[in-house]
Amino acid sequence: MSFPVQRPRRLRRNEGLRALVQETRLSTQGLIYPMFVCPGSSVRTEVSSMPGIFQQSVDKFVEECREVEQLGIPGIILFGLPEKKDETGSESSAVDGPVQRAIEAVRKTKLDLMVMTDICLCEYTSHGHCGVVKDGEVLNDPTLEILADEALSHARAGADIVAPSDMMDGRVGAIRRKLDENGFADIAILSYAAKYCSAFYGPFREAAQSAAQFGDRSSYQMDPANAREALREVALDLEEGADMIMVKPALPYLDVVQRVRDAFDVPVAAYNVSGEYSMVKAAARNGWIDEKRVVLEILTGIQRAGAGIILTYHAKDAARWLKAC
């Protein structure tokens, strides 16, 4: 049976019908807002390639957290800019580092926000790579302990979830062991399991001052051409103890989001990364696109592909728009 009996337009006739049959209902509850904390006080510097996103000292950061909470966004993910960098990224687990102090500040002010932290060394190493470097190579095993210490320091400061993004093999297991041995068996791990070696991280590297000083990250981050390999990465991270997994970036990898969603029964997150954000901002500023409609369409697409959790710099705007809907 086909036309004229079948008329899909019948269910598109008005707002009420369209809402009734909507398959994907975007909600603020699945959004996580990424934030950058730096040393000092009263610092609030806009990232030039990411309008609306700031590097902030803890005092200013807390002010923005209040706004995030009021908008109904359930959580944030933190990135830190340390006072000083060195070869091994030793500041990453400093008790008084910007991330550690920021977590404590959220706890002290009793804000109703889940605090997630990025676990990686690239913001803390002088060479900008995500692991320890020897003779121009990023070493896997010697990096694991440093990452585990970083995760432990975040847990001690009060983080709810740690999210390793370094792409070293075995880091989820190393972090899980370290947390468990130290009484943090309840702290969850969101693993950046399928993280691609992407040009879309460009603006983030300005925001986090984490550009690699030589080479690129292709010896540890995944090749954009590979999707089956993502399933393998996810399976390994789950075996090592990941509670949730992430695909990153989001838009050029929606097929990966969908395949991971279909193959595994764990919460799936997608990271709508800096370059994806900056492109929308740039086009919107030029009047080339309708920012609100484009952002809501992008986030709906990421959720429709299978991501129940979306990390996005658009979170505050999206929450405002969704409230008004």
Can you point out the beta strands (E) in 23-166?
Answer: 31-37, 44-46, 54-56, 75-80, 114-119, 132-134, 137-139, 161-164
Neighbours of 87 (CB within 10 A): 11
* DSSP tag of 187: -
Q: Is 193 in the site for ligand PBG (CB under 6 A)?
A: no
Answer for which of 153, 165, 191, 278 binds ligand PBG (CB under 6 A) is: 165
Q: Based on the shown chain and the rule CB under 6 A, indicate whether residue 117 belongs to the binding site for ligand PBG.
A: no
Comparing C-alpha atoms, which of 62, 141, 160 is closest to residue 54? 62
Number of residues that bind ligand PBG (CB under 6 A): 10
Residue span binding ligand PBG (CB under 6 A) among the ranges 17-25, 64-72, 115-123, 138-146? 115-123
In whole angstroms, give the CA distance from residue 226 to residue 20. 38
Tell me whether residue 120 or residue 189 sits nearer to ligand PBG (CB atom): 120
Candidate residues 47, 273, 298, 307; the one interacting with ligand PBG per rule CB under 6 A: 273
Q: Is 120 in the site for ligand PBG (CB under 6 A)?
A: yes
Report the alpha-carbon distance of residue 125 to residue 150 in Å, rounded: 13
Name residue, tokens 């979306």.
310
Active site residues: 195, 248
Q: Does 125 bind ligand PBG (CB under 6 A)?
A: no
Q: Is 274 in the site for ligand PBG (CB under 6 A)?
A: yes
Q: Which stretch binds ligand PBG (CB under 6 A): 3-11, 64-72, 199-207, 289-297?
A: 199-207
Sign of CA dihedral 314, 103, 201, 264: negative
Residues between 204 and 263 that touch ligand PBG (CB under 6 A): 204-205
Report the C-alpha gap between 166 and 123 in whole angstroms: 11
Q: Which stretch binds ligand PBG (CB under 6 A): 88-96, 143-151, 168-176, 201-209?
A: 201-209
For ligand PBG, the binding residues (CB under 6 A) are 118, 120, 122, 130, 165, 201, 204-205, 273-274
